[in-house]
Amino acid sequence: MTVVRGLVPLWRAVLVGALLCGVGLLPWLSRTDPALTVLKARSAERDPTPEALEAVRSQLGLDAGPLHLLGSWLGGLLRGDAGRSWISGAEVTPAVLQALGVSLLLMAGALAVAVVTAGAVCARTLWLGARRELAGRPSAGTGSALLSTLPDFLTASVLAAVVGVQLGWLPALGWYGPQWMVLPALSLGLPAGALLGRLLDDMLPGAFAEPWALAAAARGVRGRSIARQALRRCVPGLLPNFGLFVVGLTGGAVAVEQIFDIPGLGRLSLQAAIAQDLPVLQAGTLALVLLAAAAGGLARLVARLLVGPALRDGALSSLHRPTPSRPTALPLLYGGLLLAVIALGLARDPQKLDTTARLQPPSWARPFGTDALGRDVLARVGHGALDTLALAVAVSAAAFVLGVVLGLLPRLSGPLLDTVNAVPPVLAGLLVAGVAGSGASTPALAVAAVAWAPLSAHTSALLQQERATTHLTATRGLGAGRLYLLRHELLPAVLPPVIRHALLRLPGVALALAALGFLGLGAQPPSPEWGLLLAENQPYAERAPWAVLAPAAVLALLGAVAVTAGGGVRWPGRARRRRSVKSLAAQPPATPWSSPAAQQPATTAIKESR
C-alpha cells in the first residue's frame, strides 16, 4: 500500500513530462510546418516564399529537431527561463505569469459567482431539510439545469451587449479594475455554479436523512445548524469537481476573454496553439498543470479536514436518498416539447438559402426566424438534432464508462485526471488530431479524452465516502468479498448520482464537439449541428437573438430532460392514483412550520430505506 502511495508523485511527474513532450512534438505529430505557422502568425499576408521560411527556420533553430528544442527548453526551465516566444521574440515567463494572474483573478470572481449560484440552487433543499420537510418532495431544479447548459459565450455576448452597451451599467470590455470583473465573472460563474449546485442538491437529501440529523432535530438543535452540518457532509464529495472547475476556468475561458477583451491565459494559449508558438504553449500548459496539481491537492486536504476522522474510522453512513425521489411527469413534458420542435423542424428544408430574407424575426411562416443566410432556424434545429444527440450521447456514454472505471482506481486516475483537466480543450484537440489524424472520429475522441475527468473525480470522491460507511463494514464483517462489495454495495450507491452528473454535462459535450470545428475537425458548414448553429450565429446575437436562442433553448431543454429524468418518469394518469394512495397514508400537506407529529412518516420512510 505504501509502495503504491510512494509511486503516485512519480506517476504524476511522468504524466506531466509526457504532456510537455506531447506539446513539444506537436508540429511534428500533426505534420504541419512550424516555420509556416509562425511566419503567418507574425504577418498574415506574407507570402510563404522558401527564403522567408528558411529564415524563420534558422532563426528558431528548427532544423535541430524537436528533441533538441525540447531539451534546451527544459534546460532553460531549470534556470527559471522559459525561453522566448517564437512569434514576438519576447520573454515567455513574464508574459505567461501576467496572463496567469489575470486568469486567476477572473477565475476567483467566477468562483465567487458560482458559490452564490450554487447556494441559491440548494437554498430550497437546505430550507426544507432544516425543517425536516424534504421527504417525498420531488426534486426541483429545472431552472438550475437550464442555467447549467448556458454556453458561456452566449451569456457573455448578451451581458456585454445589454448590460455593458445598451444600459451602460458596467464596462463592457477591458480589465482595469474590480468593476470590469463583474460581467465576465457572471458569464463564467452562473453555469458553473448551477452545475455544482445541482450536484450538491442531489446529495443533500441523503445527508438530511442520516441518523445524526434526526437525532439533532429530536434534541432540538436549530435547523440552521443541521443544514450547516449537512452541507459539511456533502461538500467533500464535490470538492474534486470544484478543483476541476478552478483549473478549467483558468485555462479554458477563451470565449469570455475574447468577448470582454481580457488578456488572460486562455487566449494566450489558444493563440500559441494555433501559431505553434511552442515555448509559450509549453509554459502555459506547465502553469496550468501545476495549478491543477495544487488545486487537486488542496481539494483533497479540505475534504480530509471536513470528514477526515469519519473517513478514517469508517463511520459514515451512505448518502442514499431516503426515498427514491418521486417520479414526475416533467421529463415527459420537456421531452415532448423537444420532440415536437424537432419534428416540426424535420418537415422543413434546413439548407435552402435566401440571402434576401436574412435575419428575419420569428413569424408564422418561420417560427424561429431566419439566420444570417436566410435559412429557416427551426428547420436547422430539427435537422441538427440527430447528429448532435447521437454523437453527444455516444461521447457522454464513453466518458461515463471511462470515468467510472478510472474512478475506481483513484491512485492511478487522480494524477491523470488532474493533468488531463489542465489541458485546454483546443490543445487536447490538436494533440489527439496529431496522434490519431484528422479523421471523422477525432473530435469525438478528443472530447471523450477530456470529458471523463469530472465524472471520474465525482466517482472516486463518492467511493471514498461510501467505502467508509458503517453498513459496508457490516457487510464486510459478514464475509463479503471485494467483488461482491463492489457489485452490490459500492456501485449501486455511486452510479446514480454520477449518471445524473453525466446527463447534466451532455449539452456541454455537444458544445465542446462543435468548438473543435475551426481546427477542421468535426461538423463542417452547412451542417445544422447545434454547436455549429450557436457558433455561426453568435456574431449576430444582438441583431438576431432568435438565431442563437433557438439552439441554446433546445440544448437547455435537453439538459432539463436529463435532470428531471434522473429522478424517474411517471405517466400522468398512473401518478394520480398513487398520490391518492399516499395521501391515505396520512401524509399531511406540508406547511413551513409543521409539528413534530408531521415528521413521523418521514422518519419511518428513512428507516424503511435502510
Partner 1 sequence: MHSLPRRRFLAGLLLAPLLTGCFASDSGEASGASDGSRLRVALAFPPAENYSPYGADATLLSRLGVTEGLTRLDANGTAVPALAESWSRESDRSWLFTLREAAFQDGTEVTPKAVAASLTRATRAKPVTAALSGVELTAEAADSGRVRVTTAAPDPVLPLRLSSPGLAVLSAKAYAKKDAVSPVGTATGPFEFTKVTGTTAATLNRFDDYWGGRAQASGIDAKFIADGTARTNALRTGETDIAEAVPVSQAASLDKAIRRDTATTRTTSLLLNTKSGPFKDPKTRAAAREAIDTSAFAKGVYEGYADPGAGIYGPALTWAADKRAKPVGRAEAGGAEGTSVTVATYDNRPELPEAAQVLKQQLERAGFKVELEVREYSRLESDALAGKFDAVVSARNTMLDTGDPVSVLASDFTCDGSYNLPLLCDKTVDKAVATAESITDTAKRQDASMAAEAAVLGTDAVVPLVHQRIITGVGAEVSGVQLDPYERGLVGLGTRR
The three cell numbers locating residue 483: 467483488
- Return the exposure string of 330-364: e unless at least 16 CB atoms fall within 10 Å of the residue's CB, then b: bbbebbeebeebbeebeebebeeeeeeebbbebee
Is 517 a binding residue for partner 1 by CB under 8 A? The answer is: yes
319: closest CA among 261, 235, 378? 235
The three cell numbers locating residue 38: 509562425
For residue 370, the SS3 value is strand
What is the footprint of partner 1 within residues 480-509 (CB under 8 A)? none
Given the complex with partner 1, which of 437 and 525 has the nearer CB atom?
Answer: 525
- The DSSP code sequence of 24-67 is HTHHHHTT--HHHHHHHHH-TT----HHHHHHHHHHHTGGG-HH
Write down the residue that cell numbers 475551426 correspond to.
518
Structural contact between residues 450 and 237, judged by C-beta atoms closer than 8 angstroms:
no
Q: How far apart are CA 340 and CA 55, in angstroms?
A: 60
In the complex, the smallest distance separating the C-beta of residue 535 from partner 1, rounded to whole angstroms, is: 9
Which residue of 332, 353, 569, 575 would you call a contact of partner 1, by CB under 8 A?
353
In the complex, the smallest distance separating the C-beta of residue 34 from partner 1, rounded to whole angstroms, is: 10
CB-count exposure of residue 220 (10 Å: 0-12, 13-18, 19+): exposed
Is 594 a binding residue for partner 1 by CB under 8 A? The answer is: no
Is 161 a binding residue for partner 1 by CB under 8 A? The answer is: yes
- Window of 204-212, 238-246, 261-269, 479-487 that interacts with partner 1 by CB under 8 A: 261-269
Which residue of 93, 229, 258, 603 would you call a contact of partner 1, by CB under 8 A?
258
Given the complex with partner 1, which of 355 and 595 has the nearer CB atom?
Answer: 355
Could you tell me how many residues make up the chain? Answer: 610
141: closest CA among 218, 71, 79, 199? 199
What is the footprint of partner 1 within residues 29-88 (CB under 8 A)? 32-33, 36-37, 39-53, 55-56, 58-59, 87-88
Structural contact between residues 355 and 374, judged by C-beta atoms closer than 8 angstroms:
yes
Which residue of 355, 364, 365, 584 would you call a contact of partner 1, by CB under 8 A?
355
Is 530 a binding residue for partner 1 by CB under 8 A? The answer is: no
The size of the interface with partner 1 (CB under 8 A), counted in residues, is: 75
What is the footprint of partner 1 within residues 129-158 (CB under 8 A)? 157
Is 225 a binding residue for partner 1 by CB under 8 A? The answer is: no
- Window of 121-129, 167-175, 326-334, 549-557 that interacts with partner 1 by CB under 8 A: 167-175
In the complex, the smallest distance separating the C-beta of residue 266 from partner 1, rounded to whole angstroms, is: 13
The three cell numbers locating residue 177: 479594475
Is 440 a binding residue for partner 1 by CB under 8 A? The answer is: no
Is 168 a binding residue for partner 1 by CB under 8 A? The answer is: yes
388: closest CA among 254, 535, 245? 535
- Window of 20-28, 330-338, 347-355, 389-397 that interacts with partner 1 by CB under 8 A: 347-355
Which residue of 116, 140, 274, 486 would you call a contact of partner 1, by CB under 8 A?
274
Q: Give pairs for 534-538: CB < 8 Å, separation 24+.
A: 534/151, 534/153, 534/154, 536/371, 536/372, 537/371, 537/372, 538/153, 538/154, 538/157
Q: How far apart are CA 81 and CA 93, in angstroms?
A: 7
What is the footprint of partner 1 within residues 175-194 (CB under 8 A)? 175-177, 180
Given the complex with partner 1, which of 262 and 555 has the nearer CB atom?
Answer: 262
In the complex, the smallest distance separating the C-beta of residue 407 from partner 1, rounded to whole angstroms, is: 35
Is 281 a binding residue for partner 1 by CB under 8 A? The answer is: no
Q: Would you put residue 483 in left (φ > 0), alpha (ψ -120 to 50) or beta? A: alpha
Q: How far apart are CA 164 and CA 173, in angstroms?
A: 8
In the complex, the smallest distance separating the C-beta of residue 44 from partner 1, rounded to whole angstroms, is: 7
Given the complex with partner 1, which of 50 and 596 has the nearer CB atom?
Answer: 50
In the complex, the smallest distance separating the C-beta of residue 552 from partner 1, rounded to whole angstroms, is: 17
Is 91 a binding residue for partner 1 by CB under 8 A? The answer is: no
- Window of 174-182, 295-303, 443-451, 549-557 that interacts with partner 1 by CB under 8 A: 174-182
Which residue of 506, 519, 556, 602 would you call a contact of partner 1, by CB under 8 A?
519
Which residue of 121, 150, 239, 259 would you call a contact of partner 1, by CB under 8 A?
259
In the complex, the smallest distance separating the C-beta of residue 589 from partner 1, rounded to whole angstroms, is: 41
Which residue of 24, 141, 164, 551 would you call a contact of partner 1, by CB under 8 A?
164
